[in-house]
Amino acid sequence: MNVTGVIAEYNPFHNGHFYHLQQTRLETDADFLIVLMSGDFVQRGEPAIIDKWSRTKMALLGGADLVLELPCFSASGSAEYFARGSVSLLKSSGVVSCLSFGSECGDLNALSCTAAFFAQEPEPYQMLLKQGLKRGMTFPEARQEAFSSYHEAEGSSNLLSLESLISSPNNLLGIEYLKALLRDNCSIVPHTVKRLGKGYHDLDVSSSGFGSASGIRKALAIPLSPQSVRCQMPSDVFSVLESSWMQCAPIFINDFSALLHYRLLSFTDRTQLCSHYDLSEDLADRILKIRSDFTSFSDFVALLKTRQITYTRASRCLLHLLLNMQQKTADSFFKDSAAYLRILGFRKSAAPLLAMMKKQSSLPIITKLADAKKLLSPAAFSVLSQEIFCSDVYHTAAAQKYPGHKYNEYKISPVILP
C-alpha cells in the first residue's frame, strides 16, 4: 500500500489545492492520500475562515482519503514548529511513505540542498545572522541577508536563484519540512509539486484558475455573498462554503476582539504573559505598555509590530494569549514529538488504510472524544483538551456573530463520505 501525506490548512480549499492533490496522487502513485490539517486556527495567528469540519469535508471532496487534525501547538507555531510537529505525526502514523508539498520553484534538489544548509548552519552563516539581528532586523530579514552574504562570499554562481528560493513562502515551508525529515532521520520520501497561478500575496481572484487563499479570504471579507470566489473552487467544495455562509462562516480575526481585550486586561505582570507559548519578555512588556490603546485584534497586532517583531509573530502570540496556550504544555507536546492522531474525516473506501494505521501507528488513534481519556496519557490528554478549548473559543465567536449557531465538540462525529 502506497500512502502519501499532505500537510495543509485549506483556508479555504481552492483550485490550487485540488490540483496539488491530483498531481500528488499521479506523481507519487499513491493508493491513498492522508491530509494532516490545521484545526480552527492557523499558522498566521488567525482563525480559519471556516471551521475544521467544513474544511475536512472540502478536503475529502477535493481528493483526500483521510483527514487528521494537526494539534494547535504546531498549527499556530512558527514555520519550524509547524513542520516539526507535522512530520512527526505523519511518521508516527506508521503508514506514510511519501510527503508531498507545493513549492514555487518545484525543484526538490535545490530545496533539499538548502534544507541541509539550514540544518547544519555553518559558523560563518551563524555569525552573519547574529550581526543582522543585532542591527535590529527581523529574523526573516537577517536570515535572508546572512544566507545571501554567505553564498556570495563562497562565490556562488546562482546567487539570485538562491535568494528567490528562501523569499517565497511555500519554498520556505518546504525547506522546513525537509529539515524536519533530516532532524528525525525519517524514511518518508519528500516530493514537491510546482505551484501554478497566483502567488501567495496576489489578491486578484477576478478570473477563474488558481487564485491564492489570501486573495479568496480578502474577497470573502465583503459579507454579501460568496459568489465572487465560486470560480476559484471545485463546484462541490464551493457548495460546502455556500451552505455555511452566514450560518457559521465566514470568521475573521476581529470577531475575537472582545475576547482578546478581556484576556489582555486580566494580566498584571510580564510573568503571567510569558508563561504562554512562544511569548518573549520584550513582547510581554510591549503588550502591557500599550494595551490601553486596544481597539481591535488586527489593530493591536499592527501596534505591536516593530522592526524586530513581525506582524505574523505578534498575531501568533496574541492568539496564544487568547487561547491560554501554555509554554509548558507546548514543551510537553514537542518533547514527546506527538501525542495522538485524531481523525476528522475519511472516505469509506479508505477502510484498508484505517485498518493498517490502527495496526502500525505508534500513537493512539482518536475517533470519538468520549474514548480519549482512557486512551491517552495525562500529557497527551492535556494537548487534546487544549484543542477542544480552541474549538470552543472559535465557536463562541461564531455564535456571537451568527445567532442561533450552537456547537459541542463532544457531539461531533468525523465526516464520512462514500
pLDDT at 60 over 80: yes
Judge whether 122 and 393 are in contact, CB under 8 Å.
no
Terminal C-alpha separation, the chain: 20
pLDDT bucket at 197, cuts 50 / 70 / 90: confident
391 burial class (0-12, 13-18, 19+ CB within 10 angstroms)?
buried
All 3 cell numbers of residue 259?
A: 475576547
All 3 cell numbers of residue 49?
A: 475562515
Exposure string for 246-274, b = 16+ CB within 10 A, e = fewer: eebbbbbbbbbbebbbebbeebeebeebe
In which residue ranges of the chain is CATH 3.40.50.620 found? 3-104+172-197+333-417
Q: Cα Rg for the chain, rounded, in angstroms?
A: 21
Mean pLDDT score, 97-106: 98
Mean pLDDT score, 287-301: 98
What is the structure's pLDDT at 163? Answer: 78
What is the structure's pLDDT at 201? Answer: 56
- 339-373 pLDDT, tens digit each: 899 999 999 999 999 999 999 999 999 999 999 99
Q: Does CATH place domain 3-104+172-197+333-417 in 3.40.50.1100?
A: no
Q: What predicted TM-score, i.e. pTM, was given to this entire model?
A: 0.96
All 3 cell numbers of residue 41?
A: 486556527
pLDDT at 338 over 80: no
